[in-house]
Structures are given as C-alpha cells and as structure tokens.
Amino acid sequence: MGRHRHMLDLIGLFFSAFLAATLIPFSSEAVMVTLYATSAREAWVLWAVASFANTLGAVVNWALGRWCLHWQERRWFPFSAADMDKANHWFARYGLWSLLLSWMPVIGDPITFAAGFLKVRFGVFLGLAFLAKAGRYLVVIFLAQGIFQGER
C-alpha cells in the first residue's frame, strides 16, 4: 500500500504542476510542500516531477499559441487583441529572456502562450522555460526544507 500511495502522490503532483502551467488557473506549490512534509519521498524526486510537468504544461501553451491563432477572432479565445499586442511589445522590449519570468503567477502562462504565437524556436523556448520552472521548484523545496527541517 505504501508504494501505491507514493505513486498516487507523484501522479497528483504531476497533474497539479501540469495544470498550474497551462492557462487554467491552478497552483502546485501547496501540493509539493504538503508532499514534502508528509511523505518519505526524496526532495529531488518531487522537484523532478514538478519541474517536468510544469514545463510540459508550458509546452502546451506554446503549442496553443503557435497553432491556434486562426481562432483569435472567436469570443472564447483566451486573449484579446490588446493582450496579444502587449505580449508583442514585451517580447520586443525584453526579448527571449522574458521567458525566464514564465515561473511567475498570472503573467507566466501568457508569456509562454505569446512565445508560441511569436514563433519562438521550440528548443530555445524549452530551455528557458525549464530553467524558470525548475528554478522556482528548487526555491520551493529549499523553503520547505527550512520550514520542516526538524520534522523529517
């Protein structure tokens, strides 16, 4: 039962980190910290699962931005023309390095979407997005270790 429970925990972390990186509002940090505090799972395993899943979610945003622009006139399209103009301006001003902010709540998901419709090369996008997302989860793990240091 213990091994089965650990696998379910990791699957839950994977999906929470994946959803948190898509255009769906969600947060995965609380899930990661809870799993760190309550399971015997190694911190690096939690970091790896969350980093991979969150980067995969960003790839979904990039792909949506890259291939879904022909629907931009529809009411359900997630970004207005003004939002897309802002993204164009942001990238024109700060360049590819703005992808290092893709870890941030609220602005991170639109940045990864914008990278797709602005046709940022996939390899460059993937590298910068992974650095940003993995860096954020590294900080979360270090903070959790500081909080729960005596309890493990």
**Exposure string for 103-113, b = 16+ CB within 10 A, e = fewer:** beeeebbbbbb
The span from the CA of 102 to the CA of 104, in Å, is 5
pTM of the model: 0.86
**Sign of the C-alpha dihedral computed for residues 139, 140, 141 and 145 taken in this order:** positive
Our measurement of the distance from residue 82's CA atom to the centroid of its chain's CA atoms, rounded to an integer in Å, reads 24
Q: How many CA atoms lie within 13 A of 44 on its CB side?
A: 0
- Burial grade of 99 (CB within 10 A; 0-12, 13-18, 19 or more): buried
Overall domain count for the chain: 1
Say yes or no to pLDDT of 31 above 90. Answer: yes
pLDDT at 92: 76
**pLDDT tens string 76-124:** 777 777 877 777 777 778 889 999 999 988 788 888 988 998 899 999 9
Question: What is the SS3 assignment for 30-65?
Answer: HHHHHHHHHCCCCHHHHHHHHHHHHHHHHHHHHHHH
pLDDT tier, 150 (very low <50, low <70, confident <90, very high otherwise): low
pLDDT tier, 53 (very low <50, low <70, confident <90, very high otherwise): very high
Question: Residue 87 belongs to what domain range?
Answer: 2-151
For residue 121, what is the DSSP state? -
The span from the CA of 53 to the CA of 45, in Å, is 12
Structure tokens at 5: 């429970």
pLDDT at 77: 77
Say yes or no to pLDDT of 1 above 60. Answer: no
Say yes or no to pLDDT of 130 above 90. Answer: yes
pLDDT at 69: 77
The set of residues, in sequence order, having a beta carbon less than 8 Å from that of 131 and lying 6+ positions away, is 100
pLDDT at 41: 72
pLDDT at 20: 93
For residue 68, what is the DSSP state? -
Say yes or no to pLDDT of 151 above 70. Answer: no
**pLDDT tens string 57-68:** 999 999 988 988
